Structure formats: C-alpha cells, structure tokens
Structure 1
Amino acid sequence: MISFKNLHLINPIVRAVTEAGYSKPTEIQYSAIPHILAGKDIIGCAQTGTGKTAAFAMPILQLLKKHTPEHNEIRTLILTPTRELAIQIEENFGIYSKYLPLSQLSVYGGVSIGGQLAALRKRVDILVATPGRLLDLVGQRHIDLSKIEILVLDEADHMLDMGFINDVKKILKMIPQKRQTLFFSATMPVNIRKFAQIMLNNPVEVTVNPVSSTAKSVQQSVYFVEKQNKTGLLINILQSKDVKRSLVFTRTKHIANKLVAQLGNAGIFAAAIHGNKSQAARQAALSDFKNSKINVLIATDIAARGIDIDDLPRVVNYELPNVPETYVHRIGRTGRAGAEGTAISFCDREERSDLKNIQKLIGFTMPVRQFQK
C-alpha cells in the first residue's frame, strides 16, 4: 500500500494529514505529488471529491518549507472562482501546515475589505484569492505579486467559464514568468486545455479518471416531470425519512429563494446559498447544514464548488444545468471519498435536450423514475 511517506513528503506534513484522518493518498495525490515536488507544471484532471486540494497543497507546503526568505512576501497564489472554495482551500492549507512555520490567507469579494487588509499586514506565504478581489487589492497596492513562485488555478474550467479569463490574463502579467504553474479541475474542455498550454511550461498531464466521468458510488436517476409539478415532487421526496440531508440545485437565485419559502410552507426548513447572499449568511447556512440544524440546502452553481461536506447522501437537480460539465460538479458533492450517494434529477419538457447532452457527456443513460401526482 502506498503511504504519504512513500511520496517523500516530510514528517510535519505526514503527521498533520494523519491526525486529520488521512490514511493513504488518493489516486490524484500519488499521481501528482511527485511531479509537483520535482518542480514540474501540472494539468491535473480528476473527479470532484478525490482530494485535488491536498494533491497540490501538500507538495506546495514542502517546496516553500525548503527555504524561507527573510522578507515577508507572498510566494504562492491560488486562484479560485468562488468565495466558498477560497475559504475551504485556506482551511485545508491550515490543516496540512499545522506543524510548519507557514501561513495562508484567503481574500474574496462580498465582504468588507478591512479585515483582509489587516490580515495582509502580517506574514502571508500562501494567498488564496478570487480574481476580482485580488485585482482590487493589487490596484490599491496592498498586494505585491512580483515574488510568486507557484501559481495554482483551481477549478480552472469553471473559473474561465464564469468570465474570469480576462482577469486571469491581467494577473498573469503581474507575476514572474519563471514560476511553477498547476492547473486542477474536474473537467477539461478543449478550449480550457488550449489556454492551459499557453500558460504552462511543458506540463505533465495527470488524469486519474476519464474526463467528465461521475463516481460509481453515486446512484443516478431522473424523473420526467413538468415544471409546475416539480415543487410537489421535491416536497414528496424530502418528506420521506430515508435520507437525512439533501442538497438541491437550481439555476437561478430567484427559484432558490422561492423554493425556501415553498418548502417552509410544507414544514420543511431549508436555506438558500447563492451570489446575492452576504458572505456571513452563506457561511451561516452552510454551517447549519453541516451541523444538521437544517437538512435541506438549496444552492445555485456559483456556490456549488465550495460545498465540501463529508456526509451528504443526496443531491437533487431541481433544474438541470445547461452546461453538461456542471452536472458532474453538482453530483460530485455526494458519494465523496468512496461513500455511497444518490443523485436525483428533475427534467421538464424544455430540459430534454440538456438531459441528452449530460448523458452523452457522462456516457450513461440514467434510469427513469415514475412521478405519481
């Protein structure tokens, strides 16, 4: 059995991850870590929930530990598309660096800039950032990117899909050309791969599962149901006692908010998390969901990538995404780390083509469930 020590990780990191409950490296970890430690650029493609963050975090910490400069300077920059994911990555770095003299900070929009400025005055070795807030802070001369040694684009496809490509190009001009660059994502469409080849220097490709595959541990199915009947079906599913916790996806903030009210009227307490919610509200909803104060969380795709919950038995696609890769990310919230999971999708007449595109991408025809009105 391959262990973390076999990957030539130093004892402080092995000790920290062992205490955090990691018993052995996942496939993406043992495939990518040796290349990163060797200073190679990486294009890493693996399903959501397979340990991509640890796959780049552990070797980065080891590379930074090798030499610590006298001056305080940001040495690693991790770009990520959402606030939730930035917070999650910062937390993970904190766990893995428990026994190392290295510090990390996440900066993102939607919250007061004051607290982030105060944190930036202290030593920051690893900065996790959403592109917009990072450019604001650089523009105000609060951040200097001239000493960056390692750049990571996490969820690269989603970031560039969300219109961040121009921001990323601006940031690339601000950091040294001589650097190590790591691309990690669950999907790697052709246009993203082309962009990666421009950014990276002779990259090693690490693909541990077929691109856009879904975990075998997730049981997928679909209901054909008209739009006006979706809420009734959702209430019926949520009222059954077979599953404790459910994450429900909608396309829009409006539908997410509307569903919270409709479920509340049926005696099902839920919370919504989307881009219009304040950071405090989003974190409170996520915390209540993790602690089982509420058993239903309704999310839009913008919020999906930062939801990292070990025990999430069910995902419901109340509305199908019109980008097939998004389906992979959504259902990747369940069935993580080998656990069993269920993914139920609702498909109305207008969504038939979306379902067809999703099934073509994943190479799998979902079994159809019957809806009784």
Structure 2
Amino acid sequence: MFDFDMLGLSPTLNAALDRAGLTQPTPIQNQAIPLALEGHDIMGLAQTGTGKTLAFGLPLVEHLLAQPAKPAPKTAKALILAPTRELVNQIADNLRGLTDGTKLRVVTVVGGQSIGRQIAQLSRGTDILVATPGRLIDLMDRRAVDLGQVRHLVLDEADQMLDLGFIHALRKIAPRLGSPRQTMLFSATMPKQMEELSGAYLTNPRKVQVAPPGKAADKVTQSVHFLDKAAKPTRLREILSADTDALTLVFSRTKHGAEKLMKGLVADGFNAASIHGNKSQGQRDRAIKAFREGEITVLVATDVAARGIDIPGVAYVVNYDLPEVPDNYVHRIGRTARAGREGEAIAFCAPEETDLLAAIEKLMKIEIPTGSGTRPQMAQGKSSAGRPGRRRRGGNSGGAASAPAAPAKRQRSRRRRAA
C-alpha cells in the first residue's frame, strides 16, 4: 500500500488530493493507479463505492498535465463514457476537483440538455470529454466533435452500458478514436460479454480485482421482508417513520411506480422527491442536490440512479421492488455504506417476486437474513445467512409474520424502459 505522495505526481495534483483530505488509496486505487500511470490498459473489477473514479481519474489527469498543448477546436484528448447522466455528472465533478488550478477543461455531453449549448462548448475543444454514448453519437452525426485526437478512453460501469444496449454505440465510437491509445475499462460485474469487450478494445490489459462479482460492500447490513404487494406502502412508512432524519434511497422498478410512490409519501408528510427517466435533467440534478444536502430525506428512484449517486450520507437503501436483473440489487445497495461508513439495505419481497430474490441470492452466494414474514420454500438458498447481529431499522431477523418492533433511532450518518 502506498501513500499518494509517494507516486511522484505533479504538485497541482498533490494539492488537489490534500484539499480533498486523501492520503491513502482504496484497494482498487492501490492496484490500478500505478499500472495506469505506466500507460497500461486496465481491466478493473470492483464493487460500487470503492473509489473507481479516482482509480482512473488520477492517472488520466497526470498524463494530460504532461501534454500542455491546447486542444484543437471540436477535439478532445480523453474520452470517458458512462451509462447515465447522473454518473457522467458525478465523474465530471470529481475530475474538476482534480483539475482545479490547471488549464485542463472538462466538458460533459448528455441527453436531456441543450445540444446547441453542447456544440458551442465542444467548438473550443476540450481536454476531457465525459459523455453518455447516445448523445455523443448525436454530436458525431452533426460533425460537432472530432474524436481523432483521443488518446485515452475510459469505459466506466461498462456492464451497465452493455445491459442498456450501448454496445452498438460503442462500435460506432471506437473506430473514430485516435491510436495508439490507453483504454481503461471498469465494471462492477463480469458478464461473458465483458470478456469479449475487453478483447475487442483493450491491448494486453492488466486485470485488477478487489471483490468478486455479486459481493456487497462489507459494511452493508441486509434484510428481506416477506409480505403481500398491498402491504408494501404501509411497511415502507413504518420504516421511514423509525428514523425520519436519515437519508433513505427507495428503489422502484418503473418510472410510473416511482412517481406514484413519491407523491403518496409527500401526501403523507414525508420529505420526498423522485428521479427517473421521465424527469428532465434539471429536475433530476435538483433532486439529487437537495438529497445530498439533506433538504429532502427520501429519494425514490429507478435503476437510472443505481450507479449515479455518490452520497456518503445515505444511511438506508430500500428495495421497494426487487430488480429483474440480479446485478442491479448489488448496485442499488452499493449506494449506502460508502466511504467507509456503515449502511443498511432493506428489501421487500412479495409472493410474485420470490424468483427474483432467489436469483439475487444465487448471485451473491448468501441467504439474505429475514427481517419479517415467512420465507417461501422456493426462495430459500443453500448457503448460510449473512452476518447476524445488530438490531436493524427494518425489523428483527426472525421469521415471525407480525410487524417487528421499531429499533432505536440511528444517527444520520430493467433495463432501459424502466429507467
């Protein structure tokens, strides 16, 4: 394990790390950064919340600082592709923290915002372009961006890009990029297609892995509650009422369901907002900002937000609907227990969702502890239950069907169509 000041980074980068209070790397950073600084292609596999952005961002900025020439109009020196608008904005914010005090420009292009304004920004050229694949293709078709000068490519959350069908966009983008180039691919899971993607776009990559696919963050306490679908609204309100000050992220499977759930919570006096694919980018940005700052304490979201929210203060994640893609459960609960904190993940399982639960437990190789209700036989796994222990906000760990006692208050500390 190294300290950041041992890497021989430029003074401006060291100053940025000091401002952020960063001295020692996370495990994925410890493995990836030295290799990336040497110029190797990287295949990074790590669960969410482990610091992947800095793992590629720090060496990327260091490389660009060694290339002081101003980018030509419409060009970019580095391209970072991410699957959602929220993740693009999060990455760009982190990179701007690293580039503060330098002449490096960071530009974002995402859907849901003025394409005319983005064309104007790109007309000046940029050092780092962070983009969603769909909007980037639109700009390429309009000849508003020339990717021939790109010498650094990062694919972040590549497995979700595959899941959302962006592989076709990637096949259009990749031939337009400059060469030779360094490519870094980061993912939370390793589906078969990921190996094919690595073979197609990476050259002799160094593989770094800090957690097996399907493993939740160590400090997440999980529970599942077995109940009828009609009982979910009441159970959610009981959970939220037990700790009204805590930041709680609630996941719904569909856009319509998320909006309906949020409006019902607001009508009942809860401080809630929602983000999903039917919201404008401005609405989504404002909701996330208010959630981060504690102005709202309940954020109802679809999987569009599963990897785009990096808010260390999220204390609870509630899976109101279980995801149809098992990997998404891991991404969802990765929104809590970030930056070394503890967190709690509570799942609701209606009778019609038991197959979804079985798939999640098979992926994670655990049986999620029962918070309340009776576990159906078909959803039982063969592996031992997860960590036993402390009282959870979601209830007891037994199988009684009665509602669990309220715990002591804790300190605040589908794919495309469903998004």
TM-score category (smaller protein): over 0.9
CA shift, 1:243, in A, is 5.7
Secondary structure (helix, strand or coil) at the match of 2:147 reads coil
Who is 2:222 aligned against?
Answer: 220
Runs of 4+ in 1 over 3 A off after TM superposition: none
2:173 pairs, out of 171, 174, 191, with 171
Tell me how far 1:177 sits from its aligned partner.
Answer: 4.3
The aligned residue for residue 364 of structure 1 is 366
TM-score by length of 2: 0.86
Distance in structure 1 (CA, Å) of the matches to 2:17 and 2:210 = 21
Match of 2:157 in 1: 155
1:139-169 Cα offsets, whole Å, 9 max, x none, are: 1111000111011100000011101110011
* Partner Cα separation in structure 2 for residue 226 and residue 7 of structure 1: 55
Deviation at 1:138, TM superposition (A): 1.1
List gaps (5 residues or longer) in structure 1. Answer: none
1:146 paired residue number: 148
Give me the whole-angstrom Cα distance separating, in 2, the residues matched to 1:324 and 1:12.
42
SS of structure 1 residue aligned to 2:107: strand
1:194 is aligned to 196
Contact 1:42 1:183 in 2 (8 A): yes
Q: TM-score scaled to structure 1, two decimals? A: 0.97
Cα distance between partner residues in 2 of 1:201 and 1:179: 9
Structure 1 counterpart of 2:57: 57
User: 1:108-143, CA deviations, whole angstroms, 9 ceiling, x for partnerless residues?
Assistant: 001111221222233410000001110111111110
After superposition, the C-alpha distances for 1:242-286 in whole angstroms (9 at most, x for unaligned) are: 761100001100110110122122211311100110011001111
Percentage identity across paired residues of the two chains: 47
For residues 37-186 of structure 1, the aligned pairs below 5 Å read: 37-72=37-72, 73-186=75-188
- CA RMSD in angstroms comes to 1.4
* CA positional deviation for 1:71: 4.6
Distance across 1 between alignment mates of 2:165 and 2:175: 18
Deviation at 1:68, TM superposition (A): 2.3
| Amino acid in structure 2 at the alignment position of 1:24 | Q
Name the CA distance, whole Å, in 2 between partners of 1:29 and 1:312.
Answer: 23
Could you say if the C-alpha distance between residues 103 and 71 of structure 1 is closer, same or farther in structure 2, counting changes exceeding 3 Å? Answer: closer
Contact 1:243 1:313 in 2 (8 A): no
| Residue identity matched to 2:314 | L
Q: What residue is the counterpart of 2:318 in the other structure?
A: 316
2:56 and 2:115 map into 1 onto residues whose CA distance is 28
- Identify the residue that residue 10 of structure 1 maps to in structure 2: 10
Alignment gaps of 5+ in structure 2 = 374-401, 404-419
Query: d(CA) in 2 for partners of 1:71 and 1:246?
Result: 42
* C-alpha deviation, 1:301, in angstroms: 0.3
